[in-house]
Structure 1
Amino acid sequence: MYFTICIPTRNRQRYCIEAIKAIAESEETDFEVIVADNSDDATILDDYFRTQLNDSRFRLLPPESTVLSMVDNWERTMPEVGGRWVSVIGDDDHIDPGVLQLIRRYEREQANLEVVSWARMNYNWPDNRAIQTLAAVPVGHSTHIPDRKTVSNQLYRWSQREKRPAGGFGIYHGAVRRSLMERIKRKYSDRYFEHPTVDFDNTCKVVTEAKAMIFCQRPFSVLGACVASNSASTQSFEAMQKLVDDFYREMGSGQQIQDDDFPFSPKLPGLAIISSIAATTWWFCRKYGVDNDGFQENFAHSAIQECLTSRTAEEYRLKVQGLRIGFEAFEGGKWAALFDPPEEFTPPVSQNQLCGVFKNNMYIRESGLEKIVTPAEFYHFAESFLMPVKHVVSAREVFAA
């Protein structure tokens, strides 16, 4: 078996079934899909597998006797993996199994390759458009070998000073050699996945441990956002608060998102995403002795950028207030002066209104996509203006970043 796709899922069976249906349409044969069901009702996916899905490439892991935390549900997929390469996607996402052709090409060309990353489309399901939304399609197709130092600085030090670090290399919407995952387990607490912010936990370890990494600008997967997803919470403080509360309730005893010396709580209004990512990188570097000198100053600038992307003046006020409290407590307030967002803020009138090409992405107003419902349907629509897979995988050129 060459490639394994893992789909952890909890109480979003409708979306998960659509993800399964779309992947099952692939003519590729050298892959498998493991669905880890962590739902309260085990019958829905079980019935679908027994009565409708007649495909030996798919396997279902049923719910256990108690609800698992997200990180534990991810963890139980790995012993089941039969592929040489493994990827994880969300239950409301899509991945093109044809990406295994790309991985094969890169393995032939790149010695010691252990991580393949690609660009991802972004798409909101029709039930997740409470505000004006845009889908995003990366339109490049080049191949890049990343500079290890640059990637590490972006991830551990937040050197780009943007609201999110550009990690990009990991098992979530990427492909990692199974042998690397085994090496990670041996070195890091005898687990494949350790921190509750599981995707960035893996990215931190992959960037540290991988012998060679490669990136393709051509997208091969879609980050879908349904109304029940973590991404959907960015459209509503109320939705975000509920998801955070549910996440903490199901996280399990003995697990925590932030260390005591990092006082930026994901529970603060509007700050769940930036706080959880920053807490993960801070935790990883402290626990495993990774140098992240400069993180504090860069994070202060990133926090300002987080505030400036607010949709409303009230959202801006709440984010500034929460982050200011955090910086006043962080390392004795040493970095508080660097968190200096403007006193007045007016949201841009055109936010999520304009569509077109900007910085190698095609932005599409989703209100005009009446006939497109699922991430897979959006992927196939977007392929009409992307480099065909057969041309990407047949190319020989590799361009260093």
Structure 2
Amino acid sequence: MIQLSICLPTRNRQKYCIETIRALAASDATNFEVLIGDNSDDGSILADFLANEIDDPRFRLIGPEETALAMVDNWERLVGEAKGRWLTVIGDDDHIDPRLVQLLKYYERNYKGVEAVSWARMSFNWPDNRPKPSLSVVPVAHDTYVASKSVVQDRLYRWSEGTKRPRVGFGIYHGAVRKPVMERIKRKYGGRYFEHPVVDYESSCKIIREAKVLVHCQRPFSVLGACNASNSAGTKSRETMTKRVETFKAETKGKVDMDDPVFPFPISDPGASICAAIASTTYWFCRTYDIDLTGFPENFARAAMDELGGTIVEEDYKLKKAFFERGFEAWEGGKWRDLFKPHPYWGDRSHNELCGVLRDYLYIREDVPPSATPAEFYHYGEAMIMPVEHVVSGARVFAR
């Protein structure tokens, strides 16, 4: 039986996707499958690689269609093809540990009704995405928590923490969801698994509403990779980000419009940020499905100020500040504009030369470990965290 379907959507980033496939193929487990949704202009590259170098029945390729799909549609077709009891989606420049299956089985035995599982993630920049010294991150804790649905929903729907990114974790992207949950979502939400262009956060909105029990593991089981061609890499360059937003909007034409007149913080604005894109997604979801938004405007103002507080380039600060000011001025006739009172620009406060442990996270300079891929970095980081077999047995301590 296939316990886990790992969905791997990709578009024109074959060299990274190939490394991700190689790392997953190295596992000797037979209880998972990998579905590659190739949305590239040239479908022969991955097809030839899988046929000639992998030839592994655990891997299934869903090739390009006649015209390029929007990302949300590529995700949609992958989930529809998945055969596993649990589903997850990762990026083509990421990594995930197939031994996640052991954790899912452990949680099913110990937490009745569990339907969504999240875990901590390592983070890693590929060597081609290091314009300045930066830090990789390894979470070092390993406890398990059953989440309060009301708390998690408050964090995402109403942004209760007021930080630039809502701390949620639960979703199909770098999280695992039972297949029946996704089928319930499809029946309830417009006949689709995914509707919104910001598909990862839209998925979280639906899953934390529909899943019965949510369980989180502090031990990392995946790596968020960022290559030079990734969307996260685009945030490091205003020019690159602008071009990628234009492409994103062109490919999602006819979907939910990210330049939402009801929430006037358009992603096509030069000062737009990931913070605004997340807010636009959650605000659309709550309006569309009649979810209480009490407190959202006040908390989003705090999140916008937190976004500015972490901006280290002065020109970016000015663009973002002007963007938020225009948005709050236009939103509901300026009803919330007095809530947005950001601190002045404080300068570059990054400390990427510092390594060490802070609040259960180990920060490592990326030029220190000789890791060329997220999978290599994951195996490097595993030397410093609880082994998988101890986590899934409930052990509290271990010795090397």
Alignment TM-score, normalising by the size of structure 2: 0.97
Structure 2: stretches of 5+ with no match in the other structure: none
Q: Which moved more, 1:327-336 or 1:262-271?
A: 262-271
What residue is the counterpart of 1:240 in the other structure? 241
Deviation, structure 1 residue 273: 0.9
CA contact (8 A) 2:147 2:214 kept: yes
What residue is the counterpart of 1:360 in the other structure? 360
What residue is the counterpart of 1:95 in the other structure? 96
Deviations 1:279-326 (A, max 9, x none): 010000000011121000000011001011112111111111111111
Deviation, structure 1 residue 212: 0.6
CA contact (8 A) 1:316 1:345 kept: no
Amino acid at match of 1:375: P
Deviations 1:133-192 (A, max 9, x none): 111111110000011111111101111111011121010001000000000000000001
Deviation, structure 1 residue 24: 0.6
Distance 1:83 1:270 in 2: 41
Structure 1 runs (4+) greater than 3 angstroms displaced: none
Deviation, structure 1 residue 270: 4.7
What residue is the counterpart of 2:205 in the other structure? 204
Is 2:132 aligned against 1:131?
yes
Deviations 1:24-59 (A, max 9, x none): 111211000000000001110011011111211000
Q: Equivalences for 1:31-42 in 2 at 5 Å? A: 31-42=32-43
Are the structure 2 counterparts of residues 91 and 99 from structure 1 closer, same or farther at C-alpha, using a change threshold of 3 Å? same
Amino acid at match of 1:366: E
Q: Equivalences for 1:369-388 in 2 at 5 Å? A: 369=369, 371-388=370-387
Distance 2:134 2:335 in 1: 38
Are the structure 2 counterparts of residues 344 and 231 from structure 1 closer, same or farther at C-alpha, using a change threshold of 3 Å? closer
Distance 1:286 1:355 in 2: 43
Percentage of identical aligned residues? 54
Amino acid at match of 1:20: I
Deviation, structure 1 residue 344: 4.1
Distance 1:132 1:268 in 2: 29
CA contact (8 A) 2:94 2:374 kept: yes
Distance 2:272 2:139 in 1: 26
Q: Equivalences for 1:38-53 in 2 at 5 Å? A: 38-53=39-54
What residue is the counterpart of 2:264 in the other structure? 263
Q: Equivalences for 1:296-315 in 2 at 5 Å? A: 296-315=297-316
Distance 1:266 1:165 in 2: 18
Distance 1:328 1:353 in 2: 39
What residue is the counterpart of 2:322 in the other structure? 321
Q: Equivalences for 1:74-85 in 2 at 5 Å? A: 74-85=75-86
CA contact (8 A) 1:258 1:283 kept: no
Deviation, structure 1 residue 396: 6.9
Amino acid at match of 2:16: Y
Q: Equivalences for 1:51-90 in 2 at 5 Å? A: 51-90=52-91
Deviations 1:204-249 (A, max 9, x none): 0000111111000000000000000011012111121121111111
Distance 1:57 1:316 in 2: 47
Amino acid at match of 1:387: M
SS, match of residue 41 in structure 1: coil
CA contact (8 A) 2:136 2:364 kept: yes
Distance 2:208 2:257 in 1: 23
SS, match of residue 175 in structure 1: strand
Amino acid at match of 1:368: V
Deviation, structure 1 residue 258: 4.4
Alignment TM-score, normalising by the size of structure 1: 0.96
Is 2:331 aligned against 1:347?
no
